[in-house]
Structure 1
Amino acid sequence: MSKDKKAIIEVQGAAITILSRDNVDYISLTDMLRAKDGDFFISDWLRNRNTVEFLGIWERLYNPDFNSGEFATIKSQVGLNSYKLSVKDWVEKTKAIGLRATAGRYGGTYAHPDIAFEFGMWISPEFKLYLVKEFRRLKEDENSRLSLAWNLNRTLSKLNYRIHTDAIKAHLIPAEITPEQTRITYASEADVLNIAMFGQTAKAWRDTHPKAAGNMRDEASVEQLLVLANLESLNAEFIHMGLAQGERLQKLNAIAIRQLRSLTSHIALRALGAAGTEGEA
C-alpha cells in the first residue's frame, strides 16, 4: 500500500496538514477548524444542504463508483433537524473519494483541495484566500524542486549520450558508408539503451503515444534518467571492449533493473526515515 507523504502549510497562524498518496493531495479539515472561533464541527458543515449538493456534484465529476442512489436518499433528508451525517457515513454509503477520515499519527478528516477550499469559505472568505495562496505556493515549490532534479538528470543523460555516440563512431561505423547507413547504426544503438531501460524501442513508444509532444525520455522519471545516464557510459565502455550488441543488451538490462531497485528502495527508506524523525519531534 502506498505511504502518505506529509507537508505543512501555515494559514493565518494555523498549521494545516496536507497528506499526499499516489500524487493526490488531501487537506486536513480538522486542522482548518482550529482557525474558526466557536464550537463548530465538520458535522455542522455536512448538515448544510448546499454542502451536500456540492459534494454530490464533485463526486459525479471525478468518481465513477459514486453511489448516486444513496446520495439521493441523503439529499432528501439533509437539513432536517433530526438528521445527522458524519464523514464516515458519507463515505461508506456513497463510496465517496473526496473526503476521508483517517486514524493514527495524522488522524482526522481530510478533503481533496477542491472540497477543502469550499470548507475554507465556510470558515471565512479571507481564510479561503490565504489557504489557496499557501497551497499554491507549496505546489510551486514542489514542482520547482522536481524540475531542477529532472533537468539535471536529463543534462547528464545528454552528456553521456555524446560519449556513447563517440564510441559508436570509433568502433561500429565502418569507413566509406552513406549518412543514412550511419543514422541507422546510431538509431540501433540508441534502441539498445531504450530496450534495456524502458523495454521498447523509440518507434514502439511513439506508436503507442501518438499525441505525446516529446519522446519517451522526455516522459521518464528522475530515477530512470539517472540510470539511463549510467547505461550510456557503460554501453560506451562495452563497445570499446568489443562486446556484441546482444551481450551488451543483456548486461545493460540487468544493470538497469538492479540500479532502479536500489534507487527506489533508497527513496522509500529515506521517506520512512523522515516520517520517523517527524514522529520523534
Structure 2
Amino acid sequence: MSARITPFDYEGQPVRFNAEGWLHATEIAERFGKLPNEWLRLPDTVAYLEAMERTCGKIPYVKTSRARADRGGGTWLHPKLAVAFARWLSPDFAVWCDLKIDALLRGDGKPWASARREAAIGYRGMCNALAFHHEARGKTPQRHHFINEARLINEVITGAFAGRDRDLLSAAELEIVTLVELRDTALMGTDMTYAERKASLLQYMLGLQGKRLAGGKAA
C-alpha cells in the first residue's frame, strides 16, 4: 500500500489503516486466530462482493502486498469491506472499526500528522544539540552519532537499542518520543555525559509512564 499508514490502538494492540480507510486485514485477523482468506471464501462474502460490484462498480476491494509485514505487507480491505470483515472477527471490534474508518474519511486523522511533525521537529532539535555538543569539544559529529542518539531515545522508551519506523507509531507514542527528545536536548545543554543523560532519561520515562497510568497528561 502506497498511502501513509495510520496506526490506532485497540485493546492495547495496534490496528493499521491507510489514509483512505483501508484495513490491514492480515495483521488484525492473526490476533483473532483467523486468516483473511477464510472470510473471503465464505459464500456470504462472495455474494456481498458481487453485490458491491453491481452497486458501486468493479474496483479493487482487496489488495495484497508482498512487502514485509512491518512495511504494510499482507492483505488490505477496502473500507466498504472492512466493517463486514471486522464483524466476522468480533462485533465489538466491528463497532470500533466503523468509528475509526469514519474518522479517517472525515479527516479526523490530522492529530497524527501533527504529532508526526512535532516528533520530526524534536528530532532535528536533538540532532542540532548533539552536533553542538560534539563541536564544543573539538570533535566532528558523524552519522553514527545521530543514529545512536535516536536509538538511545528508543531504548529509553521501549527497552530496545534499535530503530523504529515512526510512520507506524500512534499519535500517543509519537508524543512520548517528542517529550523524551526534548528532554534529551535540554540535558545536552547541561554538559551531562552519555551515561548520565541515559540515566536521567530513564527516570524521566518512568515519570511519564506513572502519569499515564494515573490518567494524567504527560508534561
Normalising by structure 2, report the TM-score: 0.50
- The alignment's TM-score, normalised by the length of structure 1, stands at 0.40
Q: Which has the higher contact order (CA 8 A, sep 6+)?
A: 2
Tell me which structure has the larger Cα radius of gyration. 1
